[in-house]
Amino acid sequence: MTWLKSGVAVEALPEVTPQEVVLGSQTLVLVRLGGTVHALDGTCPHLGGLLAEGRVEEARLVCPLHGATFAIDTGAVMADPFGVTPPEGAVEPLRRYPTKIEGGMVEVGVPGPDRA
Ligand code: FES
């Protein structure tokens, strides 16, 4: 795993306000929820909605385009793009990435060799 610096200070990340970060070739979304910073894929697996433009409702991230809903703590699909709960397909779960705080800044772990 490689830890990448997001450039985002944890104190500058408001609770339940998704924030996009681009790390290398990946677009991710950071969401601070209950003091914990979560990192997930930043684009919706349905048709590419930018999840940083979505909203957080009860620990779920809602895609701004068609409303697919994902659990922030697992990335699981909670409602599909057609509003069906439990979901009946059409969208894959979001990948999650580990986070840590170093010197007040958010770092995100991505697959790859250690650069320690
Ligand atoms: S692009 Fe996200 S639900 Fe369609």
pLDDT tens digits, 65-115 = 999 999 999 999 999 998 888 888 889 999 999 999 999 999 999 987 765
The single residue listed with the structure tokens 């010197």 is 103
pLDDT tens digits, 13-27 = 999 999 999 998 899
Task: Report the pLDDT value the prediction gives residue 83, as an integer from 0 to 100.
Answer: 81
Task: Report the pLDDT value the prediction gives residue 114, as an integer from 0 to 100.
Answer: 63
68 lines ligand 1 (CB under 6 A): yes
Task: Report the pLDDT value the prediction gives residue 112, as an integer from 0 to 100.
Answer: 79
Cβ atoms of 111 and 1 within 8 Å: the answer is yes
What is the CA 46 to chain-centroid distance, rounded?
15
Tokens read off for 86: 């439990």
Q: Give the Cα separation of 2 and 23 in Å (integer).
A: 11
Under CATH, which number does the domain 2-110 receive?
A: 2.102.10.10
Q: How far is the CA of 103 from the centre of ligand 1 (A)?
A: 35
Tokens read off for 66: 């068609």
42 lines ligand 1 (CB under 6 A): no
Enumerate the domain spans of the chain: 2-110
